[in-house]
A and B are shown apart, each in its own frame.
Chain A
């Protein structure tokens, strides 16, 4: 719950980035799990994003960034949601240099559009990257999971070579460079990748592409190291999905089942209990094999019952808390959505 009334939120933000950038939140399209942010802000520059975050941090408004919206259900349900930060207006390509294999873009450029662009030059971003044409580059960096069949170097630690981020202190920071081989200073870019927008908002992203040829020559070895388990409702539609990520793709034999078929309605207490028990068993299997089981999507009420990220919190949770406190001391960015409620 917000400490402020919606009109106050909107007035305060209007002073920061102008009323023209704001509208009221409307269900269902602006829902974040089952919370409706009263205000939707659509900034038109990185500077405006930083202004907005600075203002939100001073006032204690919880901000939920969103771009393509394809993964809005990922993460724990937020504790609060005052402002939906729509990054959709920041979608332009800054640069694509085929000779350098480097692409620089605003965060809301669609993954599919970027991939088509580099594919025309016989290169690929997607070889290392989960693509969904309406998902955005920034959203993928913030919420994407490393590829499921990585062999050798792949995934965001390979692809994302630089970011500009807006922080809750109202500033913009640049890390990384336009070259893939760069070890100057701490690799701060890594902190924002996979952080689900809980430390800062990515306002520009620099990616490396690779020749398509490399992609092809990897295929013969491909072997998945992550599986998707899911829960189906009585009508056969997917109600929840879980990523099972095991070293070397090891999966225990059929037990527990990779698909849980419900015969009761998904909103019943018994369905929720069965999900929780099924997930707990998967988590035992996963942790015994040094793997993890992460809930990719589930009804909000189910998610509130568990931590979508893990059973046991990571050993380095105290360090992660300190990081969160450093970047977002008043907990305004996606509060509660990350690991162990960060």
Chain B
């Protein structure tokens, strides 16, 4: 039966663009959130919108689920084939279709990597705003599906503010264009609905995105604080002073120690700091000069013990190096890292951050915090050994407790990584029954047979999805 499906898929995309052998399929069991897995029947690698459309239409006729996939760097299980089915991977749709520098627009296929677009835009003095730390590999289709952010989201926004138009293949194979080449096209903001919909509403086959002018000048400050609270309060002070850093990142003592312990990633960060802030200030030379002075003054007033400045590209890159490799360095601790993604209002940062320290102690776990402080977007990273079931259970329970605290502080269970499978059981902390039913109704409006990326985002549709992972993800604390 599966062979018939594979043959039909091969007839559309060619046999070289279908992966169906067990050994190769294991790579596709999960995404970067390794705790949920599933077995796909096949992976297809279409080259064009038309091929995607025919593949999706075929799966629709055959009642086979379709799981869109970019680079598989998602951190919530969004691309894991938990309900089986066919994975549509965009790896062969990597063309930048056009860059219109005057209009500051690009049209791209979904498989183009985030950093590849920015590199192509740079000669025009432009950049694609969202810059997830995974930018070198993650795809623009994946960015749109997750509404990805990044260190510079504070000033330059999430993906949704940069997508003007989408070409999508709906669950029945129909191709539809949403939005266009300008903001404010007539009609409901379907682009706004589809961005962040985690592949549940359509397979994106092309995107029209905004490109932003590169700032004339950027300077970076690395500021060391003697306590978590002092550092977090400085974050609030900077914003309240009317400064708008383009990035305002934070690393705690544990993160710094981990980075510095690795020969490969060491960046010379201050080992004695409880919290270090990495602050990018951009604008015209005059503005940046003023902002740097003001930011330094504010940080000193909060007890900063050291301020280093990177004024040129190479010294800036050095200061950022540790931050960029933080996740990689953490993987060295115990092998597995559970990356949380809760958001809290800035004023709640000191309290919730202190809470993560408390949770780590109670569960006997190592939690390192490296996060988008300006946005209040926390990434507590829980190190654990996935081969140890008890430790894994503790990691999940600790994570749930922290995310619950984020919601209680008026924030969110996810700032940029999405709900996927990981946070399904946390959705009702944020939404009432009516709102969740509304999301399901929106899903059914576009995909009545629930065949696109089933088992994700909407708790009530989890139904038959049978996660292969041995860990129960319902780690809800009381």
Contacts and interface: CB of A to CB of B under 8 A. Distances in A.
A214 B438 contact: no
B302 interface: no
Interface of A: 97-102, 121-123, 145-146, 150-155, 157-158, 171, 173-175, 177-191, 193-195, 199, 210-214, 216-217, 220-221, 225-226, 245-250, 290-292, 294, 309-310, 314-317, 319-320, 322-323, 326, 338-339
Contacts of A123: 242
A212 to B, nearest CB: 5
B430 A185 contact: yes
B415 A153 contact: no
A187 B423 CA distance: 16
Given A179-B415, A184-B430, A248 B103 contact: yes
Contacts of B436: 185
A214 B149 CA distance: 19
B411 interface: yes
Contacts of B190: 316, 319-320
A100 B346 contact: yes
Nearest to B372: A181
B187 A309 contact: yes
Contact of A100 (B215, B287, B345, B414): B345
B161 interface: yes
Contacts of B427: 184-185
Contacts of B147: 183, 187
Nearest to A250: B103
Contact of A187 (B178, B185, B195, B242): B195
Identify the interface centre among A174, A182, A199: most chain B CB within 10 Å of its CB: A182
B463 interface: no
B196 A183 contact: yes
A186 B197 contact: yes
B430 A153 contact: no
A250 B102 CA distance: 9
A184 B346 contact: no
Contact of B243 (A146, A151, A177, A211): A211
Given A183-B196, A291-B181, A214 B240 contact: no
24 contacts: A99-B345, A99-B347, A100-B376, A146-B184, A152-B161, A173-B434, A175-B435, A179-B344, A180-B375, A181-B372, A181-B376, A181-B412, A181-B416, A184-B423, A185-B427, A186-B197, A187-B147, A187-B196, A187-B197, A193-B189, A290-B182, A291-B181, A292-B180, A326-B445
Contacts of B182: 225-226, 245-247, 290-292
Interface string B374-409: 011100000000000000000000000000000000
B189 A190 contact: yes
Contact of B239 (A101, A158, A173): A101
A188 B414 contact: no
B270 interface: no
A92 B349 CA distance: 28
B292 to A, nearest CB: 12
B240 A99 contact: yes
Interface stretch (B43-51, B150-158, B255-263, B305-313): B150-158
A181 B153 contact: yes
Contacts of A314: 185-187
Contacts of B432: 173-174
A310 B416 contact: no
Contact of B176 (A152, A157, A315): A315
Nearest to B410: A178
Nearest to A102: B345
Interface residues of B, number: 88
Given A146-B184, A177-B412, A183-B147, A152 B434 contact: no
Contacts of A246: 182
A193 B187 CA distance: 10
Identify the interface centre among B240, B243, B445: most chain A CB within 10 Å of its CB: B240
Contact of A316 (B178, B240, B431, B445): B178
B240 A122 contact: yes
A246 B105 CA distance: 12
B129 interface: yes
Given A101-B239, A185-B419, A247-B100, A220 B284 contact: yes
Q: List the 9 closest A-B pairs by CB distance, nearest first.
A: A153-B157, A248-B103, A190-B192, A122-B242, A153-B161, A214-B244, A217-B283, A309-B186, A182-B412
Contacts of A157: 160-161, 189, 192
A248 B341 CA distance: 35
A252 B451 CA distance: 45
Nearest to B101: A248
Contacts of A153: 129, 156-158, 161-162
Given A179-B343, A183-B146, A214-B244, A320 B157 contact: no
Nearest to A190: B192
B404 to A, nearest CB: 13
A179 B177 contact: no
Contact of B434 (A171, A182, A210): A171
A294 B182 CA distance: 13
Contacts of A317: 187
Contacts of B161: 152-155, 157-158
Contacts of A185: 419, 427, 430-431, 435-436, 439, 457-458
Nearest to A324: B188
A44 B213 CA distance: 46
Contacts of B155: 152, 214
Nearest to B175: A315
Contacts of B210: 152
A81 B156 CA distance: 42
A220 to B, nearest CB: 6
Contacts of B102: 248, 250
A114 to B, nearest CB: 17
Contacts of A250: 102-103
Nearest to B341: A183
Contacts of B140: none
B6 interface: no
B176 A316 contact: yes
